Amino acid sequence: MVRKKKFTLSTTQIILLSFLVTILSGSLLLALPISAANGEAVPYLDALFTATTSTCVTGLVTLPTVTAWSTFGHIVILILIQIGGLGIITIMSGLMLLLNKKMGIGDRLLIQDAFNLNTMSGLAKFVKNVLLGTLVIEGIGAILYMIVFVPEFGARGIWISVFNSVSAFCNAGIDIIAENSLCNYAANPLINLVTSALIILGGLGYIVWWDVLRVARSRSPKNRRIFRHLTLHSKIAITVTLVLILVGALFIFIFEYSNPLTIGEMSLFDKIQVSLFQSVTTRTAGFASVPQENLTNASAAVSIILMLIGGSPVGTAGGMKTVTVAVLICSAFATFRNKNSATLFGRRISEGSVKKAVAVAVAFITIFLVSTILLMATSNSSALDAVYETVSATATVGLSRNLTSSLNTFGKMIIIVTMYLGRVGPISLAVALGSKNQSQNVISEPTEDISIG
């Protein structure tokens, strides 16, 4: 008697399906008349687009969030943002721990894949810390926002503060303040500072948090050289993040200094803080303090590069990730210098990390290029606007040069798929849809050198 092979999903496929199910469930809720501000159901494609951009924490919207949706719709969107930022696997694991249920090996494998961790030890504690840390940071952000929003909006300012804090930490870029995002608060230091801090903390990644806290607690008061004792991952993530923010802000400040449509007529202090905010928000957050379509072409190009790189692994941000880009650059320089391996901060980068970085970059750029070609073929947008839109969707940023609302049916479908692929991760998609590892083959193919470059 021949046994039928039991069909099972891999952990990566479960993660992909969990996002898909969340998006479809959210789209059904948003398609209900109760979700619309005027009580009339919105077209399903717009509901699907909004559910996708919320779950994928992107921020591109075909309908103005503040005016198109009711309070019920806003609640659905916020829940989708929180699920998308943390991941459905993390939330379900947290509920299991809350109900005192033990995590099986399957649950641990899911968490390990969801956060791309290298070990399964201490996963229950890791999930607890992630949920608690998220709650604390979002809570502090909401309280700080209330200083501005409650006096301006009254009791509704509390809800706006909570919504904005969750959206900023999850790098979603969706708000319920105005149709022009945060442009009305471009010169408000508190809003800029709080939003930037939430974006950076979410984008750095959870393992960087715990690493910094671990080193800080283990150092004596007389020896606070925390950075020196961090892991290589944390050093790369923190260093690249700071460099990109400062360098990006400097270029934007220079290119926009005399632009009357953005910061040209602002004071020097406001020019600096708007430039910094633009550099931070392009790291997959999606809030805008100046209209993106008014940026000079040079600033738009800088923003595209920052969006492509994105945040850091094991966080709420998207993009190719800071660590991926750092590994690729160091590997290239090692090749230039005829070295056998790439090194960073006195540590050798493993060959497996380099291969994974190359795979992520190739998959990411492929998704971006294909979606750009398709969008340009189905719309009358300029090349710059189309590239800005597809990079924003692939990197789950949410910034747009006023193109999203004018997309036709094909354009909306292209961006929906792009946002989904960008969020679940190119490498996760490749693993989920690919065949089994062939490395166990006894006989390997012969090796032959080829000409490169």
Supply the pLDDT for residue 435: 45
Supply the pLDDT for residue 228: 84
Pull the structure tokens for residue 138.
Answer: 């979002």
Instruction: Indicate if the alpha-carbon torsion angle 308, 312, 315, 320 is positive or negative.
Output: positive
CB atoms under 10 Å from CB of 316, counted, come to: 30
Identify whether the C-beta of residue 307 lies closer than 8 Å to the C-beta of residue 282: yes
* Angstrom distance (rounded) from CA 264 to CA 276: 15
Alpha helices in 379-434 (DSSP H): 383-394, 409-424, 426-433
Q: What is the pTM of this model?
A: 0.89
Tens digits of residue pLDDT in 88-107: 667 766 666 665 666 665 55
SS3 at position 266: coil
Which residues of the chain carry a pLDDT beneath 50? 435-436, 438-441
Identify whether the C-beta of residue 119 lies closer than 8 Å to the C-beta of residue 138: no
CB atoms under 10 Å from CB of 147, counted, come to: 13
Supply the pLDDT for residue 16: 81
Supply the pLDDT for residue 440: 47
How far the first Cα of the chain sits from its last, in Å, is 57
Supply the pLDDT for residue 145: 97
